[in-house]
Amino acid sequence: MRIRMTGKKFDMFPERSGDIWGDDIPAELFEPLSEECRESDAINRESMSYWGQARAKMAADPLAMAGLVVIALMVLFAILGPLIRPFPYDEQNYSAINQTPNAEHWFGTDKFGRDLFVRVAYGARISLAVGIVAAFVNVTIGVIYGGVSGYLGGTADMIMMRIVDIMDTIPTLLYIILVMIFLGSNVRSIITALCLSYWLNTSRMVRAQVLSIRTQDFVMAARVAGESGWRILTRHMIPNSIGPIIVMVTFLIPQAIFYEAFLSFIGIGIAVPVASWGTLANDSLSNMNMYPHLTIFPLVAISLTIFAFNFVGDGLRDALDPRLKR
């Protein structure tokens, strides 16, 4: 019986050597076995670090690899898109309005004659920037806050976690509207607003992670060895909790992208004429029946990107999950 998994075929019941001799076994086979055949402590498997194993598992996951390719293409599109076409994103051209995709305007033009290809590429810049910056700022704050809270434990942990609980009672939308009032409708304020609320969950998760690692024997072993608190935190706790944190980042990025698109779509995010996928979708709404391409291109871009990040996140979770390791 053969079972196929991750592209490799395994023989579930390989043939066993033996039963090959009948009654007349050559006498020399009963001579003592040489010493080198008795090395049972040798390890025959290839040595692989945690990261090496993770990389191999990622490479064997077609969906995650496809996701990575899509993300790479999206990044290239964001960087090169506006450079390879001769149209600035905000240049209005009333001689070429509402064109369907053609040789000159690959994605067509909008009601002001602006080139949609360039505008979607600009939207990619904004979305990717929002997603990546928000995720990283969040994780930085969350890891430090949650890590310190879990590491200190006791009363400090109690107070720090109650602060998180209180902050969590304020809806994210409220944060965003307040920040928009003070900083204006731009990319920076969206990132700031997202960072203000998203780190709460991150810090909770990191705290739980640190608490579970703190009780592991190898942390006690590090104390017995005389390692300092700082050394234990940086050499043992963080390396052992980094896997789940990376997975969390990859899931936070599409969430942030989605949030930005949603806010811009309902009109409290990025203001025109700056192009974001959300504003593009919103702009196209009035003429959606006549010019569906204006809606389709930004929507496909949003979906593809979010799908891609989620696939990569799933792949990373499988690859970095300590329970799946033998």
Which spans of this chain sit near other proteins (rule: CB under 8 A)? 1, 3, 5-6, 10-14, 16-21, 23, 25, 28-33, 37-45, 47-50, 57, 216-218, 220-228, 231, 235-236, 239-240, 322, 324-326
Q: How many residues does the chain have?
A: 326
Q: Of 49 and 169, which CB lies nearer to other proteins in the complex structure?
A: 49
* Torsion angle (degrees, nearest 10) of CA 191, 206, 244, 218: 150
The dihedral through the CA atoms of 37, 43, 47, 53 has a sign that is positive
Q: Of 56 and 170, which CB lies nearer to other proteins in the complex structure?
A: 56
CB of 207 to other proteins, least distance (A): 18
CA distance 49 to 236: 15
135 burial class (0-12, 13-18, 19+ CB within 10 angstroms)? buried
For residue 249, CA distances in Å to 147, 173, 235, 242 come to 16, 21, 21, 10
Computed on alpha carbons and rounded to an integer, the radius of gyration of the chain in Å comes to 28
At 64, the amino acid letter reads A
CA distance 63 to 43: 33
> Are the C-beta atoms of residues 186 and 270 closer than 8 Å to each other?
yes
Q: Of 33 and 290, which CB lies nearer to other proteins in the complex structure?
A: 33
CB of 8 to other proteins, least distance (A): 9
CB-based burial, 61-86: b 16+ in 10 Å, e otherwise: beebeebbebbeebeebbeebbeebe
CB of 109 to other proteins, least distance (A): 50
Within 10 angstroms of residue 152's Cβ, the number of other Cβ atoms is 15
Q: Of 20 and 290, which CB lies nearer to other proteins in the complex structure?
A: 20
The angle formed by the CA atoms of residues 151, 154 and 157, to the nearest 5 degrees, is 60
Q: Of 2 and 95, which CB lies nearer to other proteins in the complex structure?
A: 2
Q: Of 90 and 227, which CB lies nearer to other proteins in the complex structure?
A: 227
Residues forming a β-bridge with 4: 9
Q: Of 37 and 290, which CB lies nearer to other proteins in the complex structure?
A: 37
CA distance 281 to 303: 12
Q: Of 24 and 290, which CB lies nearer to other proteins in the complex structure?
A: 24
CB of 279 to other proteins, least distance (A): 44
Residue 13 phi, psi (nearest 5): -130, 75
CB of 315 to other proteins, least distance (A): 13
The angle formed by the CA atoms of residues 235, 316 and 134, to the nearest 5 degrees, is 80
CB of 73 to other proteins, least distance (A): 29
Residue with tokens 């052992």: 240
